[in-house]
Amino acid sequence: MFTGIVTGLGVVREIVPLGGSQDMRLVIGTPTGEAAWADTASIPLGASIACSGCCLTAIALGPDWFAVTASAETLSKTTLGTWRVGTTVNLERPLRVGDELGGHIVAGHCDGVGHVVAATPDFGSTRWEIEVPQALARYIASKGSVAVDGVSLTVNEVNGASFGVNIIPHTTAVTTFGRLKAGDPVNIEIDTLARYVARLQEFR
Rounded to an integer, what distance in angstroms lies between the CA atom of residue 122 and that of residue 99? Answer: 32
pLDDT digits (tens, 9 = 90+) for 112-138: 999 999 999 999 999 999 999 999 999
**Which CATH class, in words, describes the domain spanning 112-201?**
mainly beta
Residue 142: CB partners within 8 Å, gap ≥ 6? 155, 156, 157, 158
The pTM score is 0.92
The answer to whether 87 and 12 have CB atoms below 8 angstroms apart is yes
Residue 107: CB partners within 8 Å, gap ≥ 6? 1, 2, 55, 189, 192
Same CATH fold assignment for domains 8-92 and 112-201:
yes
In the CATH scheme, what architecture does the domain 8-92 have? Beta Barrel (2.40)
3-state secondary structure of 141: coil
Rounded to an integer, what distance in angstroms lies between the CA atom of residue 60 and that of residue 43? Answer: 10
162 φ, ψ (degrees, to nearest 5): -115, 155
Rounded to an integer, what distance in angstroms lies between the CA atom of residue 87 and that of residue 26? Answer: 11
Domain ranges, ordered by start, for the chain = 8-92, 112-201
**Intra-chain end-to-end CA distance of the chain, in Å:** 30
Neighbouring-strand partners of residue 24: 17, 70
pLDDT digits (tens, 9 = 90+) for 154-165: 999 999 999 999
175 φ, ψ (degrees, to nearest 5): -130, 180
Per-residue pLDDT of the chain (204 residues), as tens digits, is: 899 999 999 999 999 998 777 899 999 999 988 888 988 877 899 999 999 999 999 999 998 999 999 999 999 999 999 999 999 999 999 887 777 777 888 999 999 999 999 999 999 999 999 999 999 999 999 999 999 999 999 999 999 999 999 999 999 999 999 999 999 999 999 988 877 777 777 777
Residue 76: CB partners within 8 Å, gap ≥ 6? none
